[in-house]
Amino acid sequence: MKYQRHKNEITLFTRDFSARRRWVLGVIIFGMVTLVAKAVSLQVFDKDFLQAQGDMRHISDVAVPAYRGIIRDRNGAPLAISTPVESVWINPQEFRGATRWQIKQLEHMLSVPSGKIDDLLTDTHKQFAYIARQVSPNLADQVKNLKMTGVYFEREFKRFYPTGGVAAHLIGFTDLDDKGQEGLEAAYDHLLRGVAGSKRVIRDGKRQIIDDVENIKEPVSGKTLELSIDQRIQYLAYRELAQAVTVNHAKSAVLVVLDAKNGEILAAVNQPSFNPNTRKNLKENLYRNRAFTDIFEPGSTVKPFVVAAALDGHYVLPDEKFETNGSFDIGTHVVKDVHNYGTLDLTGVIKKSSNIAVSQMALRMPPKYFWDVYHQLGFGEATASGFPSEANGALLDYASWKPFDQATLAFGYGLSASALQLARSYTALADNGILHSVSLFKRNEDPETKRIFTSRTAKSVRAMMETVIAKDGTAYEARVDGYSVAGKTGTVKKAGAGGYVEKSYFSVFAGMAPASNPRLIIVVMIDEPSAGQYYGGIVSAPVFSKVMSGALRILEVAPDQSDNMPVLLMGKN
Cα–Cα distance between 263 and 257 in angstroms, integer?
A: 10
**pTM for the full predicted model:** 0.82
The arithmetic mean of pLDDT across residues 319-346, rounded, is 93
Q: What's the pLDDT tens digit per position in 411-463? A: 999 999 999 999 999 999 999 999 999 999 999 889 999 999 999 999 999 99
499 phi/psi in degrees, rounded to 5: 120, -165
Write down the pLDDT at residue 434.
Answer: 98
Q: How far apart are the first and last CA of the chain?
A: 147
* C-alpha separations of 569 from 471, 509, 524, 572 in Å: 28, 36, 36, 10
Mean pLDDT of 391-405: 95
Whole-angstrom distance, CA of residue 499 vs CA of residue 7: 131
- Whole-number pLDDT of residue 567: 39
Q: Which of 82, 87, 300, 354 is catalytic?
A: 300
**Phi/psi of residue 76, each to 5°?**
95, -5
Lowest-pLDDT choice from 171-185, 222-236, 369-383: 171-185
pLDDT band at 351 (very low <50, low <70, confident <90, very high): very high
Long-range contacts for 210-218 (Cβ within 8 Å, ≥24 apart)? Answer: 213/59, 215/64, 216/61, 217/64, 218/64
Q: Which of 454, 413, 408, 410 is nearest to 431 (CA)?
A: 454
Among 99-103, 204-208, 449-453, 491-495, the minimum mean pLDDT is found in 204-208
pLDDT band at 572 (very low <50, low <70, confident <90, very high): very low
* From 16-30, 339-353, 478-492, the region with the lowest mean pLDDT: 16-30
pLDDT confidence tier of residue 489, bands split at 50, 70 and 90: very high
User: Which domains does the chain possess?
Assistant: 62-226 (3.90.1310.10), 231-274+290-554 (3.40.710.10)
User: How far is C-alpha 101 from the chain's CA centre?
Assistant: 44
**What is residue 212's predicted lDDT score, i.e. its pLDDT?**
52
Residue 15 in this model has a pLDDT that exceeds 60: no
Categorize the per-residue pLDDT at 566 as very low, low, confident or very high, splitting at 50, 70 and 90.
Answer: very low
Helix (H, G, I), strand (E, B) or coil at 421: helix
Active site residue 516: no
- Across the chain, mean pLDDT equals 87
Which range has the worst mean pLDDT, 175-179, 205-209, 422-426, 433-437? 205-209
Per residue in 246-293, pLDDT (tens digit) is: 999 999 999 999 999 999 999 999 999 999 998 777 777 788 999 999
CA distance 558 to 418: 30
Higher pLDDT, 500 or 266: 266
Contact residues for 378 (Cβ-Cβ < 8 A; gap 6+): 417, 421, 424, 425, 435
**Where does the pLDDT of residue 404 fall: very low under 50, low under 70, confident under 90, or very high at 90 and above?**
very high
